Chain A
Amino acid sequence: MTDQAHTGATRTIRPQGYWVGVARDGQKMGFWFILPTFLLLLFIVIFPFFMQLYLSVTWWTPLEGIPWYSAWEVFSWFDNYLTLATDPRLWGALWRTALIMIVAVPAQFFLGMALAYLFIDQFPGRKLFYSILLTPMMIVPAVVGLMFFLLFQGTGPVNAHLGLPADFSWLTDVNRAMISVIIADIWQWTPLMFLILLAGMLGVPSDQLLAARLLGGSNWQNFVKIILPRMKTVIIIALVLRTVECFKIFDLIYIMTKGGPGVQTETISVFLYKQTFGDLEWSYVAAIGLTILIVLSVIAAKGLAYMARKQG
């Protein structure tokens, strides 16, 4: 009865003026509040996604002479997808990206963990060292690229310190170019690992550590049995974060080697960049981007499901 009376009242009020209805009706207000965000998402996520999907099944390039929305004129079915499946340059770039991940992320993890362990205790100058250690992380990656580009020159400081001749090249050598890039990445991102792991380590209750010591556990035993298990979540977050970031590595490499010599340091991002702005193969790049998106989404979904199952 009262409900009906209420709705009836609302109905009679609504025609009186626009704002009265909006103020009374929370849902309608909410719609207007989220509308800008919704439009933004539509513009930066959903529209590009469908544009990408559309282009990826054509042979369209900016050189075609027709606007992108007319790309159906050069419709190619799944040719781009078939090409990418057997493109050695793409698979090479993927492998090199994986290689950087496999080497750099664990190196950053172990260095970060060791540094964090050093920093749980107070010592004179702790704050100073802490600030110094965090500096690399705050430098723009392009600048880090430039720094290491200069450091690894034939006549640069690295060779000078190691007593190597000027023709001992780093960035133009087939093997050493990759090593240089990995070193630069480790240098820049160990601090982030250190920061996250230190926060996690400081979160381990100190009285439990003390209890473990009083029970006779050595520092190593307590580290493995108490500290590490308690840091599990933080460790997973740190590793996932760095792995994802590593997959996108671009600016460092682009400045240091431009993916060279040849394609020796060409990662997936560098490869896509070159395909897009060098070769202007936009429909092919769209197909690759979409494939990577789908593969990573599946992996992420599986991972999340696994974690949910372990917790539930």
Chain B
Amino acid sequence: MSSIQIRNVTKRFGEFTAVRDLSIDIEEGEFVALLGPSGCGKTTTMNMIAGLEDPTEGQILFDGQDLSGLRIQDRNIGFVFQNYAIFTHLSVYRNLSYGLEVKKVPKPEIERRVQAMAERMSISHRLDQPASSLSVNEMQKLAIGRSAIVEPRIFLLDEPLSNLDAGFRAYMRAELKVLQHEFGQTMIYVTHDQIEAMSLADKIAIIDRGRLMQYGAPLDIYNDPQNRFVANFVGSPRMNLVDGELREERGTLKLMLHGGAEIPLSGKVRVDFTCDGSVHGGSFGVRPQDIYFGEKRGGDDITMTGKVEVLERVGPKRLAYLQVQDTLFVAFDDLDRLRVGDEVPFCLPSDKSLAFDIDTGRRLGGA
């Protein structure tokens, strides 16, 4: 088990910069997800941690120690590939024992550890069979077991669930969480699926175009996104984010939306938008589950009126798409009384609304 410090790491491939000045501290035993859209540099970051790529600039320290001089085979890093990279020409047993065999661990001990790991992964009935005969979910377990058996200093997982079907993915997500708890291992998990990251990780590092956008506990990231990108990326359904110009009219500050509508700002969100006097354009963000219908509950909440365009069932609730001029707001139809075509008033809670600078994307004000 190791702690990892990624310090000001930059990786360039020719003209292309995959990772820019990235710094992340990972504590011993932590489960960290690297989350971002495809091509954001998360896999490159993981490859640098594994030693498959060298950083162009910066350092990666394991327990304060730089391993950059060490060959890949001497680093003792567990790596689970997206397609598992099972040795299909070997038996399940030989797959599990490979990491011990090459380290010349005595036979009886290999036997004991392989049996124990197979037991743990519930593939012991498959030990003598060729690994190519396993099902995808068994391969997944074998891939994890094969890495775990050598007790690596850290564990890297590259989108390990993306090849699984939806039902088994949910099961494996729970299973991974249990395994991580059992192994007590430092784990780094690369994914583009925010639900996976949210449900599994102790901490999430959100990366966009090679830059770290935010690093923190899942709930902090969800409730307190530091910039427009994180606000937009995390959460399902997505946060309502509307862009507009700030304009002062007869004492009220308004956000004139590009779609034609306007949001009169009041309370906390007004303070947020004005805390930095230089901002003229902003993004207003509010999560669908925070929008409510009916009477204003807080004095500072903002009332708007919109036309119900579409109602969409999501599980037990319905999502309402509310059109205000040319802007769409998405909200949960909490009372289940809306009908398509209705003109309905709805409220944006001031204290749960977020303000972003439209040019830099950075969060204005804050918690």
Contacts and interface: CB of A to CB of B under 8 A. Distances in A.
B76 interface: yes
A230 to B, nearest CB: 5
Contacts of B319: none
A213 to B, nearest CB: 5
Contacts of A229: 89-90
Given A215-B146, A216-B103, A225 B77 contact: no
Given A207-B83, A207-B85, A214 B78 contact: yes
Nearest to A204: B89
A211 B85 contact: yes
A59 B75 CA distance: 76
Contacts of B101: 225
Given A210-B52, A211-B79, A217 B85 contact: no
Given A207-B83, A210-B52, A211-B81, A217 B102 contact: yes
A208 B88 CA distance: 9
Contact of A214 (B50, B86, B87, B88): B50
Nearest to B52: A210
A210 B75 CA distance: 13
A225 B81 contact: no
Contacts of A218: 73, 102
A135 interface: no
Contact of B79 (A205, A214, A225, A230): A214
Given A217-B102, A218-B102, A205 B85 contact: yes
Contacts of A84: none
Contacts of A213: 72-73
B197 to A, nearest CB: 23
Interface in A208-241: 208, 210-218, 221, 225-226, 229-230
B222 interface: no
A217 B99 CA distance: 7
Most chain B beta-carbon contacts within 10 A, residue among A215, A218, A230: A215
Contacts of A216: 73-74, 76, 99, 102-103, 150
A225 B75 CA distance: 20
Contact of B98 (A205, A207, A217, A230): A217
A221 B102 contact: yes
Most chain A beta-carbon contacts within 10 A, residue among B74, B78, B85, B88: B85
Contacts of A208: 85-88
A233 to B, nearest CB: 11
Nearest to B51: A214
A216 B90 CA distance: 17
Contacts of B43: none
Contacts, number: 60
B181 to A, nearest CB: 23
Nearest to B82: A207
A215 B83 contact: no
Interface string B49-74: 01010000000000000000000111
B81 A226 contact: no
A178 to B, nearest CB: 39
Interface residues on B, range: 20 to 34
Contacts of A205: 85
Nearest to A220: B102
Interface in B96-117: 98-99, 101-103
B99 to A, nearest CB: 4
B10 interface: no
A218 B102 CA distance: 7
A236 to B, nearest CB: 15
Contacts of A210: 52, 72, 79, 81, 85
B89 A230 contact: yes
A217 B81 contact: no
A213 B74 CA distance: 9
Interface in B113-156: 146-147, 150
B89 A215 contact: no
Nearest to A217: B102
B185 to A, nearest CB: 15
Given A207-B83, A207-B85, A225-B98, A215 B150 contact: yes
Nearest to A206: B85
Nearest to A215: B99
A7 B220 CA distance: 82
B95 to A, nearest CB: 10
Interface in A163-221: 205, 207-208, 210-218, 221
B139 to A, nearest CB: 12
Contacts of B150: 215-216
A225 B101 CA distance: 10
Contacts of A225: 98, 101-102
A211 B85 CA distance: 7
Contacts of B85: 205, 207-208, 210-211
Contact of B81 (A207, A221, A230): A207
A93 B366 CA distance: 93
Given A207-B81, A207-B83, A229-B89, A212 B98 contact: yes
A52 B87 CA distance: 52
Most chain B beta-carbon contacts within 10 A, residue among A211, A214, A225, A230: A214
A221 B104 CA distance: 11
Contact of A212 (B50, B76, B87, B103): B87
* A-B interface, 3 closest residue pairs, ranked by CB to CB distance from nearest: A215-B99, A211-B85, A207-B85
Given A208-B86, A212-B87, 12 more contacts: A205-B85, A207-B83, A207-B85, A210-B52, A210-B72, A211-B87, A212-B98, A213-B72, A214-B72, A215-B73, A217-B98, A221-B102
Interface of A: 205, 207-208, 210-218, 221, 225-226, 229-230
15 contacts: A207-B81, A210-B52, A211-B79, A211-B81, A211-B87, A212-B98, A214-B50, A214-B72, A214-B75, A214-B147, A215-B150, A216-B73, A216-B74, A225-B98, A229-B89
